[in-house]
């Protein structure tokens, strides 16, 4: 079983913020594979299904971002999974919007959700899918930037990026990490950038 955890903050207030792109990517993946994310347990909401021959659990922690590890550890422990069975989808300030990057193990890069998961599991041996959100404007606090509500044009761009991330997860599960890395780790053109 593969556990795919998309990170975000619960509640309508945070739905259209940069920090919630992990939730959005999971929603797109669930729609593509007709997996219903509705079961509430383990401080999460999740859905179970199959992608190819792989059984998957799509998990949205319903703690706040900096406590994501509490929820993820409960899920991993209950299903008898290991950190190597976990894929975490999260926002990344150091990548431009429209860019994805897969990363196996390593540090948290200052991301509170990844730090929480690493500490809770006592391991950094999980795969991350980093979804670029770009840097805040000069003088803006990064914490304010990631929690800022997106305007209509930005929402269209983020939805496009979340869909791209979901497709990369499909390729990862069906064809493996090298194929997903070669096919999706390039920057895409956003709807707002189209002529």
Of the chain, the end-to-end C-alpha distance in Å amounts to: 43
Phi, psi of 115 (to 5 degrees): -60, -45
The yes-or-no answer on residue 19 being catalytic is yes
Least Cα distance to 85 among 126, 51, 40 occurs for 126
By CB neighbour count within 10 A (0-12 exposed, 13-18 middle, 19+ buried), where does 124 fall? middle
* Half-sphere exposure in the Cβ direction for 126 (13 Å, CA): 32
Q: From the candidates 19, 28, 62, 90, which is the catalytic residue?
A: 19
Counted residue by residue, the chain has a size of 195
Q: What is the CA radius of gyration of the chain?
A: 15
134: phi then psi, degrees, rounded to nearest 5: 80, 170
Q: In angstroms, rounded to a whole number, what is the distance separating the alpha carbons of residues 174 and 94?
A: 28
Q: What are phi and psi of 194, to 5 degrees?
A: -70, 145
Q: Tell me which residues are annotated as active site.
A: 19
């Amino acid at each position: 079983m593969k556990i795919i955890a998309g990170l975000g903050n619960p509640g309508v207030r945070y739905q259209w913020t940069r920090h919630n792109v992990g939730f959005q990517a999971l929603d797109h993946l669930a729609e593509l594979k007709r997996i219903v994310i509705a079961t509430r347990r383990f401080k999460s909401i999740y859905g179970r299904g199959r992608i190819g021959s792989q059984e998957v659990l799509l998990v949205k922690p319903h703690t706040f971002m900096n406590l994501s590890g509490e929820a993820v550890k409960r899920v991993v422990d209950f299903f008898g999974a290991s950190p190597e069975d976990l894929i975490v989808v999260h926002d990344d300030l150091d990548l431009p919007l429209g860019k994805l990057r897969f990363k196996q193990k390593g540090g948290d890069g200052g991301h509170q959700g990844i730090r929480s998961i690493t500490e809770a599991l006592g391991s950094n041996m999980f795969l991350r899918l980093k979804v670029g959100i770009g840097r805040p404007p000069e003088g803006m606090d990064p914490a304010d930037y990631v929690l800022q509500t997106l305007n209509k044009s930005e929402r269209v761009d983020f939805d496009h990026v979340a869909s791209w991330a979901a497709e990369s997860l499909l390729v990862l599960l069906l064809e493996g990490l090298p194929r997903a890395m070669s096919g999706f780790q390039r920057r895409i053109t956003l709807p707002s950038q189209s002529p």
